[in-house]
Amino acid sequence: MKKFLTVCLAAGTLVASALGFSACGGGNTLVVYTEAGFAPFEYLSEGKIVGVDVDIMNQVGEKLGREVVFENVNFDVIVDAVSEGKLTNVGAAGLSITEERKEKVDFSIPYYTASLYVIYKTDGTMAPEIGESTAENGSVIYWDSLAGMSIGVQGGTTADIFLSDEIGEDWGALYETGASKTPYTSLSVAVNDIGLNTNVVIIDELPAKTLVANNDGLSCLPLYYKGETVDEDEAAVDEYAIAVTPGQDELLAAINEVLEGLINDVDADGNNGIQRLVMQHLDLASGN
Protein backbone atom coordinates (compact mmCIF):
# COMPACT_ATOMS: atom_id res chain seq x y z
CA MET A 1 0.00 0.00 0.00
CA LYS A 2 2.35 5.31 -1.77
CA LYS A 3 3.70 9.51 -4.59
CA PHE A 4 6.18 13.86 -7.89
CA LEU A 5 9.61 12.58 -7.14
CA THR A 6 10.94 13.77 -3.77
CA VAL A 7 14.34 13.57 -2.15
CA CYS A 8 15.79 10.16 -2.92
CA LEU A 9 17.58 8.27 -0.17
CA ALA A 10 19.56 5.28 -1.32
CA ALA A 11 20.21 2.99 1.63
CA GLY A 12 21.95 5.79 3.42
CA THR A 13 23.56 7.36 0.35
CA LEU A 14 22.06 10.31 -1.48
CA VAL A 15 21.67 9.30 -5.10
CA ALA A 16 21.07 11.70 -7.99
CA SER A 17 20.55 10.78 -11.58
CA ALA A 18 23.17 13.37 -12.47
CA LEU A 19 25.83 10.96 -11.20
CA GLY A 20 25.61 9.14 -14.48
CA PHE A 21 23.69 6.08 -13.36
CA SER A 22 20.73 5.08 -15.43
CA ALA A 23 18.22 4.85 -12.62
CA CYS A 24 16.76 1.64 -13.98
CA GLY A 25 20.05 -0.09 -13.53
CA GLY A 26 22.84 1.48 -15.55
CA GLY A 27 26.02 -0.58 -15.28
CA ASN A 28 25.59 -3.05 -12.45
CA THR A 29 23.10 -1.00 -10.42
CA LEU A 30 19.49 -2.00 -9.77
CA VAL A 31 17.40 0.97 -8.62
CA VAL A 32 14.37 0.12 -6.50
CA TYR A 33 11.64 2.66 -5.81
CA THR A 34 10.08 2.55 -2.36
CA GLU A 35 8.42 4.85 0.18
CA ALA A 36 10.09 4.66 3.55
CA GLY A 37 7.10 5.38 5.77
CA PHE A 38 5.46 1.97 5.81
CA ALA A 39 7.01 -0.05 8.62
CA PRO A 40 7.87 -2.88 8.86
CA PHE A 41 8.12 -3.20 5.07
CA GLU A 42 10.15 -0.01 4.55
CA TYR A 43 11.15 2.63 7.04
CA LEU A 44 14.08 4.84 8.00
CA SER A 45 16.55 3.80 10.69
CA GLU A 46 19.55 6.04 11.37
CA GLY A 47 19.06 7.65 7.97
CA LYS A 48 18.98 4.36 6.08
CA ILE A 49 16.07 2.71 4.31
CA VAL A 50 15.47 -0.67 5.92
CA GLY A 51 12.62 -3.16 6.13
CA VAL A 52 11.20 -6.41 4.82
CA ASP A 53 11.12 -5.29 1.18
CA VAL A 54 14.70 -4.00 1.46
CA ASP A 55 15.91 -7.37 2.74
CA ILE A 56 14.07 -9.17 -0.05
CA MET A 57 15.52 -6.97 -2.78
CA ASN A 58 19.02 -7.20 -1.33
CA GLN A 59 18.75 -10.97 -1.73
CA VAL A 60 17.64 -10.44 -5.33
CA GLY A 61 20.69 -8.25 -5.89
CA GLU A 62 22.95 -10.97 -4.55
CA LYS A 63 21.34 -13.53 -6.85
CA LEU A 64 21.84 -11.30 -9.89
CA GLY A 65 25.26 -10.00 -8.82
CA ARG A 66 24.01 -6.41 -8.90
CA GLU A 67 24.22 -3.53 -6.44
CA VAL A 68 20.76 -2.56 -5.20
CA VAL A 69 20.02 1.12 -4.62
CA PHE A 70 16.82 2.18 -2.87
CA GLU A 71 15.21 5.52 -3.65
CA ASN A 72 12.64 7.02 -1.31
CA VAL A 73 9.86 8.58 -3.39
CA ASN A 74 6.19 9.44 -3.05
CA PHE A 75 4.17 6.25 -3.09
CA ASP A 76 1.71 7.27 -5.79
CA VAL A 77 4.41 7.66 -8.48
CA ILE A 78 5.94 4.21 -8.02
CA VAL A 79 3.72 2.13 -10.30
CA ASP A 80 3.83 4.65 -13.16
CA ALA A 81 7.61 5.00 -12.84
CA VAL A 82 8.08 1.22 -12.93
CA SER A 83 5.69 0.95 -15.87
CA GLU A 84 7.71 3.51 -17.83
CA GLY A 85 10.97 1.78 -16.95
CA LYS A 86 13.25 4.81 -17.38
CA LEU A 87 14.11 5.69 -13.78
CA THR A 88 13.50 2.31 -12.20
CA ASN A 89 12.49 -1.24 -13.08
CA VAL A 90 11.31 -2.28 -9.62
CA GLY A 91 8.81 -1.03 -7.06
CA ALA A 92 9.01 -2.68 -3.63
CA ALA A 93 6.81 -0.76 -1.23
CA GLY A 94 4.14 -2.97 0.28
CA LEU A 95 2.37 -2.76 -3.07
CA SER A 96 -1.02 -4.40 -3.33
CA ILE A 97 -2.07 -6.26 -6.44
CA THR A 98 -4.97 -4.53 -8.19
CA GLU A 99 -6.42 -4.95 -11.66
CA GLU A 100 -5.58 -1.35 -12.54
CA ARG A 101 -1.94 -1.81 -11.54
CA LYS A 102 -1.70 -5.12 -13.41
CA GLU A 103 -2.41 -3.21 -16.63
CA LYS A 104 0.78 -1.19 -16.08
CA VAL A 105 3.32 -3.52 -14.45
CA ASP A 106 4.17 -7.17 -14.00
CA PHE A 107 3.80 -8.44 -10.45
CA SER A 108 5.81 -11.04 -8.60
CA ILE A 109 4.07 -13.84 -6.79
CA PRO A 110 2.19 -12.55 -3.72
CA TYR A 111 4.26 -12.75 -0.56
CA TYR A 112 2.05 -11.24 2.15
CA THR A 113 -1.68 -10.88 2.81
CA ALA A 114 -2.62 -7.69 4.65
CA SER A 115 -5.81 -6.63 6.40
CA LEU A 116 -6.99 -3.03 6.42
CA TYR A 117 -7.18 -1.42 9.87
CA VAL A 118 -8.84 1.72 11.21
CA ILE A 119 -6.79 3.99 13.51
CA TYR A 120 -8.81 6.18 15.87
CA LYS A 121 -8.46 8.21 19.05
CA THR A 122 -8.44 5.97 22.13
CA ASP A 123 -10.41 8.57 24.11
CA GLY A 124 -13.27 8.30 21.62
CA THR A 125 -12.79 11.76 20.10
CA MET A 126 -14.64 11.66 16.76
CA ALA A 127 -14.28 7.86 16.83
CA PRO A 128 -16.51 5.32 15.05
CA GLU A 129 -18.75 2.79 16.71
CA ILE A 130 -16.98 -0.47 17.53
CA GLY A 131 -18.78 -3.64 16.55
CA GLU A 132 -18.48 -7.26 17.58
CA SER A 133 -17.96 -9.84 14.87
CA THR A 134 -17.52 -13.58 15.43
CA ALA A 135 -15.82 -14.79 18.60
CA GLU A 136 -12.73 -15.47 16.52
CA ASN A 137 -12.56 -11.95 15.10
CA GLY A 138 -13.63 -10.08 18.24
CA SER A 139 -13.96 -6.31 18.10
CA VAL A 140 -13.99 -4.81 14.61
CA ILE A 141 -15.02 -1.66 12.81
CA TYR A 142 -17.57 -2.09 10.03
CA TRP A 143 -17.50 0.05 6.92
CA ASP A 144 -20.99 1.37 7.56
CA SER A 145 -19.96 2.69 10.99
CA LEU A 146 -17.79 5.22 9.13
CA ALA A 147 -20.86 6.87 7.59
CA GLY A 148 -20.71 10.67 7.74
CA MET A 149 -17.08 10.67 8.85
CA SER A 150 -13.98 12.37 7.48
CA ILE A 151 -11.56 9.55 6.70
CA GLY A 152 -7.83 10.00 6.17
CA VAL A 153 -5.75 7.81 3.85
CA GLN A 154 -2.29 7.94 2.36
CA GLY A 155 -2.76 8.88 -1.29
CA GLY A 156 -2.33 6.06 -3.79
CA THR A 157 -2.49 3.24 -1.25
CA THR A 158 -4.91 0.34 -1.33
CA ALA A 159 -6.84 1.99 1.50
CA ASP A 160 -7.28 5.00 -0.80
CA ILE A 161 -8.59 2.73 -3.58
CA PHE A 162 -10.93 0.80 -1.26
CA LEU A 163 -12.32 3.99 0.28
CA SER A 164 -12.84 5.70 -3.09
CA ASP A 165 -14.98 2.75 -4.19
CA GLU A 166 -16.96 2.58 -0.95
CA ILE A 167 -17.77 6.31 -1.14
CA GLY A 168 -18.09 6.77 -4.91
CA GLU A 169 -19.85 3.63 -6.14
CA ASP A 170 -23.59 3.14 -5.68
CA TRP A 171 -22.93 -0.31 -4.20
CA GLY A 172 -20.46 1.08 -1.65
CA ALA A 173 -21.11 0.94 2.08
CA LEU A 174 -20.48 4.70 2.37
CA TYR A 175 -22.25 5.86 -0.80
CA GLU A 176 -24.26 9.03 -0.14
CA THR A 177 -23.72 8.72 3.63
CA GLY A 178 -21.84 12.00 4.00
CA ALA A 179 -18.51 10.22 4.42
CA SER A 180 -15.54 12.00 2.85
CA LYS A 181 -11.96 11.11 1.98
CA THR A 182 -8.93 13.22 2.91
CA PRO A 183 -5.75 12.07 1.14
CA TYR A 184 -2.31 12.74 2.63
CA THR A 185 1.13 12.38 1.09
CA SER A 186 2.53 11.11 4.39
CA LEU A 187 1.07 8.49 6.71
CA SER A 188 2.54 10.22 9.76
CA VAL A 189 0.83 13.52 8.84
CA ALA A 190 -2.45 11.68 8.33
CA VAL A 191 -2.23 10.05 11.74
CA ASN A 192 -1.38 13.34 13.47
CA ASP A 193 -4.61 14.81 12.06
CA ILE A 194 -6.86 12.19 13.68
CA GLY A 195 -9.32 13.85 16.04
CA LEU A 196 -8.59 17.25 14.52
CA ASN A 197 -9.62 17.37 10.86
CA THR A 198 -10.40 13.69 10.39
CA ASN A 199 -12.15 11.06 12.46
CA VAL A 200 -9.98 8.11 11.52
CA VAL A 201 -7.24 6.86 9.21
CA ILE A 202 -7.41 3.62 7.24
CA ILE A 203 -4.13 1.81 6.56
CA ASP A 204 -2.77 -1.74 6.47
CA GLU A 205 -2.54 -3.81 9.65
CA LEU A 206 1.17 -3.84 10.45
CA PRO A 207 1.85 -0.12 9.90
CA ALA A 208 -1.29 0.61 11.92
CA LYS A 209 -0.14 -1.55 14.82
CA THR A 210 3.35 -0.06 14.71
CA LEU A 211 1.97 3.49 14.84
CA VAL A 212 -0.41 2.65 17.68
CA ALA A 213 2.36 0.94 19.66
CA ASN A 214 4.31 4.19 19.54
CA ASN A 215 1.36 6.44 20.44
CA ASP A 216 -0.61 5.92 23.64
CA GLY A 217 -3.44 8.13 22.37
CA LEU A 218 -4.32 5.89 19.43
CA SER A 219 -6.02 2.54 18.97
CA CYS A 220 -6.75 0.42 15.92
CA LEU A 221 -9.08 -2.38 14.88
CA PRO A 222 -9.61 -4.42 11.72
CA LEU A 223 -11.99 -3.13 9.06
CA TYR A 224 -14.80 -5.49 8.07
CA TYR A 225 -17.66 -5.81 5.63
CA LYS A 226 -20.84 -6.71 7.49
CA GLY A 227 -22.57 -9.88 6.37
CA GLU A 228 -26.16 -10.88 6.95
CA THR A 229 -24.86 -12.80 9.97
CA VAL A 230 -21.59 -12.42 11.89
CA ASP A 231 -20.40 -15.68 10.36
CA GLU A 232 -20.65 -14.00 6.95
CA ASP A 233 -18.62 -10.95 7.97
CA GLU A 234 -15.63 -10.45 5.70
CA ALA A 235 -12.33 -8.71 6.38
CA ALA A 236 -11.04 -6.07 3.97
CA VAL A 237 -7.78 -7.62 2.74
CA ASP A 238 -5.23 -7.31 -0.04
CA GLU A 239 -2.06 -9.08 -1.19
CA TYR A 240 1.43 -7.57 -1.50
CA ALA A 241 3.76 -8.20 -4.43
CA ILE A 242 6.77 -6.54 -6.06
CA ALA A 243 6.18 -4.52 -9.26
CA VAL A 244 8.50 -4.99 -12.26
CA THR A 245 8.69 -3.23 -15.62
CA PRO A 246 7.02 -5.40 -18.30
CA GLY A 247 9.59 -7.32 -20.31
CA GLN A 248 12.13 -7.57 -17.46
CA ASP A 249 11.73 -11.34 -17.35
CA GLU A 250 15.11 -12.23 -15.84
CA LEU A 251 14.60 -9.73 -13.04
CA LEU A 252 11.06 -10.95 -12.36
CA ALA A 253 12.23 -14.57 -12.30
CA ALA A 254 14.98 -13.74 -9.78
CA ILE A 255 12.50 -11.93 -7.52
CA ASN A 256 10.11 -14.87 -7.66
CA GLU A 257 12.91 -17.32 -6.84
CA VAL A 258 13.87 -15.31 -3.76
CA LEU A 259 10.25 -15.00 -2.64
CA GLU A 260 9.57 -18.70 -3.16
CA GLY A 261 12.68 -19.56 -1.15
CA LEU A 262 11.57 -17.36 1.75
CA ILE A 263 7.97 -18.60 1.66
CA ASN A 264 9.07 -22.24 1.64
CA ASP A 265 11.65 -21.76 4.42
CA VAL A 266 9.43 -22.73 7.36
CA ASP A 267 10.96 -23.01 10.84
CA ALA A 268 9.99 -25.24 13.74
CA ASP A 269 7.44 -22.67 14.92
CA GLY A 270 5.67 -22.71 11.56
CA ASN A 271 6.89 -19.26 10.48
CA ASN A 272 8.25 -18.86 6.97
CA GLY A 273 11.07 -16.53 5.95
CA ILE A 274 8.76 -13.64 5.14
CA GLN A 275 7.00 -13.91 8.49
CA ARG A 276 10.34 -13.96 10.32
CA LEU A 277 11.45 -10.81 8.50
CA VAL A 278 8.15 -9.15 9.41
CA MET A 279 8.56 -10.02 13.10
CA GLN A 280 12.19 -8.86 13.09
CA HIS A 281 11.37 -5.49 11.58
CA LEU A 282 8.27 -5.02 13.72
CA ASP A 283 10.53 -5.22 16.76
CA LEU A 284 13.09 -2.86 15.24
CA ALA A 285 10.49 -0.33 14.06
CA SER A 286 8.80 -0.38 17.46
CA GLY A 287 12.12 0.16 19.23
CA ASN A 288 11.99 -3.17 21.06
- In this prediction, residue 136 carries a pLDDT of 60
Q: With a cut of 70, say whether residue 287 has pLDDT above it.
A: no
Angle at which helix 52-64 crosses helix 273-286, to 10 degrees, equals 130
Residues 6+ apart with CB under 8 A from 2: 34, 35, 37, 38, 74, 75, 76, 78, 93, 94, 154, 156, 157
The number of residues making up the chain comes to 288
**For residue range 176-208, what is the model confidence (pLDDT) as tens digits?**
999 999 999 888 899 999 999 999 999 999 889
> What is the secondary structure of 2-37 as a DSSP string?
-------EETTEE--GGGS--TTTSTTEEEEEE-SE
- In this prediction, residue 12 carries a pLDDT of 37
Between 213 and 285, the higher pLDDT residue: 213
- In this prediction, residue 26 carries a pLDDT of 52
Over residues 90-114, the mean pLDDT reads 94
Q: With a cut of 90, say whether residue 242 has pLDDT above it.
A: yes
CB neighbour burial string for 122-138, b if at least 16 within 10 angstroms, e if fewer: eeeebbbeebebeeeee
d(CA 151, CA 144): 13
d(CA 192, CA 196): 8
- In this prediction, residue 125 carries a pLDDT of 85
d(CA 61, CA 28): 10
Over residues 227-231, the mean pLDDT reads 81
Over residues 225-253, the mean pLDDT reads 91
143 Cα distance to chain centroid: 20
Is the omega angle on the peptide bond into residue 128 within 30 degrees of 0, that is, cis?
Answer: no
Give the model's confidence band at 8: pLDDT under 50 very low, under 70 low, under 90 confident, else very high: very low
- In this prediction, residue 286 carries a pLDDT of 66
Q: With a cut of 90, say whether residue 137 has pLDDT above it.
A: no
Which CB contacts under 8 angstroms, 24+ apart, belong to 266-271? Answer: none
Q: With a cut of 70, say whether residue 17 has pLDDT above it.
A: no
Between 121 and 282, the higher pLDDT residue: 121
Phi, psi at residue 13, to the nearest 5°? -115, 130
- In this prediction, residue 282 carries a pLDDT of 84
- In this prediction, residue 187 carries a pLDDT of 86
**For residue range 47-84, what is the model confidence (pLDDT) as tens digits?**
999 999 999 999 999 999 999 999 999 999 999 999 99
Between 160 and 106, the higher pLDDT residue: 106
Please say whether the dihedral angle defined by the alpha carbons of residues 145, 154, 277 and 217, taken in this order, is positive or negative. Answer: negative
d(CA 45, CA 56): 17
Between 178 and 286, the higher pLDDT residue: 178
